[in-house]
Structure formats: C-alpha cells, structure tokens
Amino acid sequence: YLEETNTTAFIILRGDELLYEGYFNGSSREATQTSISVAKSFASTMVGIAIEEGFIASLDDPVTAYIPELLERDPRFGEITLRHLLTMSSGLGFHRSSSPLHDGTKTYYAPDLRALALESRIEEAPGTRFLYNDYNPLLVGMVLERATNMSVSEYLETRLWQPMGAEADGSWSLDSERSGFEKMNTGINGRAIDFAKLGWLFLNEGRNGDRQVVPAAWVKEATRVDTTTDPAVEYQYFWWLDQERYAYFAEGNFCQFIYVYPDADLVLVRLGRDCGGTYWTGLLGDIAEWIEPRLGE
C-alpha cells in the first residue's frame, strides 16, 4: 500500500522503540528528504527556545519590537504580536489565484524573502480570523535572526537539531545565495528518521534524556486545543490539531506528516512524492488507534 501511494518513507515510533521503518519508490534510510510546511513546526519550536533563553521576551511582543521598519509602512503593524504570527491570525493579506505572481508563488520563489516580508500588507485586525499565510513564518524568521544575532540555520543546528539527537546532517534551503535567508515556510532537508525526532521530542515533553531541549510548558502550549488567545481550534503554533484524538501534527505539501499521538505514546511519519489519493490525516489516526489496544501484546 505504501509503495502504491507514492510514499517515500514511513516510520512508527512507540516511546523509545522503533516499531516500523520503511522506504519506498527509490528512497532509503540515508536519503535526504525535503520538507515543505513541516518546516514551520521547527520554526515555531525555535521561538519557544528563544523565549526560554531570553532572546525573545514574550509571544505578546509586537513584531515591530524586532522589525521596527514595519511601522514606517503602516502603524497598525504595532498591533501584530508574535502570537498572531504563530497562530496564523496576523491579519496580513495572502491570496492564491491563477496568476503566476500570487502570494503563494512569491513567498516560495522570491530571491529576497526578507524584502518580500517587509512588503506584506494588513487587510484586517489581528486575532480575528485564521488565515494560513506564508508571510507569517517569514516574519518569524526575521525576528529569530535579529533576536538571536545568528542565522536561523545556526540557531536550529545548535538549539534543536543536534540537541534532539539528529542522526545526520541537515540543511535549510535559502531564497538565494545573495540574500542568504532561510525559506521559513519550507525547505528543511534531512533524513526521515530525524524528522521523527522532532515528534519524539514533543512526545517526551521536550526532553532528550537528561536535557530539556524545548520547555515542557511550550510543548503543551504549542499543541493545545484552545481558542482563548486565537481564533482557530484546529491550529496552534504552526502545529495542526487532531481534536478527535487529542493528537497533533506537522503537515506539509505532498502529504508530509509528523503525527504525534500522546495517549498511545506514538509518533508516525509519512513522507511522499504526493498524497497518492489518500486522506493521510485520518489514516494516520486510524493506524495509531489500531496500534493502541495492542501495545501490551
């Protein structure tokens, strides 16, 4: 089935145990897999670490505390907080259309994504509506590099990739050699098993052995079902929520998933060339529920 659905990697972790690991359609354990929007969940996790380290004061900081030039374009940027960016409720415009120059194309292909992010426009008050919007992670990336005084890639490497126990080198695709800015909405490249490590880290409340890599409070807050601070019950800090099963997942184009099911101590990873005609959110949840009663067998 995995072969037929254009899957390239499928992994199931139960706690510290590797239950299943399979590679298909020309892929292998050593193959580099390119994430799409799964990268957003890595980005939001770095914000939580940066707050813990004191580089960022609070999610309620206005984005203009770190990118003050936005105020010169529109004083309403002072009302947009980091929380609004992470919950996709910033009020910034983002439109897809048949035009080759719609926002989705520009935020993926522009050779200077910083300049593009600074041109983002406000269309409504922040905190009022959920809109999946790739300008938000670009601004998050600019905040991270300015707050930490290092590239986003370096911060990922030293604060998350290595501390969580990644087995191989990773990389983050850039907008261009001249600009050198990470494509914050996409483009983290690594082995499938190392994408699974992010889910495993969250399953363990941010701990890798004796090291607290991500604050436990952040793990809980970033994946909770709660609309007291944002308008979407199905989304938190760049993580999607499976409300029916109290699970959560990172998701990217071509049906890439890091699916975390805490009640059964499970992490499932699916990467592929496309979705293969499958509704993977439901299938991954069904697989997790099928495994759960068999944990003691």
Residue identified by tokens 């145990």 is: 17
Distance CA 167, CA 179 (A): 29
- What average pLDDT does the segment 267-296 reach? 91
Closest C-alpha to 272, from 39, 23, 15: 23
Q: Measured between alpha carbons, how far is residue 28 from residues 13, 33, 132, 187, 204 in Å?
A: 18, 10, 32, 19, 27
| Tens digits of residue pLDDT in 172-202 | 999 999 999 999 999 999 999 999 999 999 9
Q: Does the pLDDT of residue 121 top 70, yes or no?
A: yes
What pLDDT score was predicted for residue 228?
85
Q: Does the pLDDT of residue 146 top 90, yes or no?
A: yes
Q: Measured between alpha carbons, how far is residue 143 from residues 43, 137, 276 in Å?
A: 11, 10, 37
What pLDDT score was predicted for residue 225?
87
Closest C-alpha to 211, from 219, 221, 201, 203: 201
- What average pLDDT does the segment 8-30 reach? 97
| Tens digits of residue pLDDT in 81-114 | 999 999 999 999 999 887 888 999 999 999 999 9
What's the pTM value of the predicted model, to 2 decimals? 0.96
Mean pLDDT of the chain: 96
- What average pLDDT does the segment 135-157 reach? 98
Q: Measured between alpha carbons, how far is residue 134 from residues 30, 60, 64, 189 in Å?
A: 30, 20, 18, 19
pLDDT-based confidence at residue 227 (cuts at 50, 70, 90): confident
What pLDDT score was predicted for residue 244?
86
What pLDDT score was predicted for residue 292?
77
- What average pLDDT does the segment 14-18 reach? 94
Neighbouring CB atoms inside 10 A of 264's CB total 18
Closest C-alpha to 197, from 8, 2, 16, 10: 16
What pLDDT score was predicted for residue 97?
84
Q: Does the pLDDT of residue 222 top 60, yes or no?
A: yes
Q: Does the pLDDT of residue 125 top 60, yes or no?
A: yes
pLDDT-based confidence at residue 295 (cuts at 50, 70, 90): low
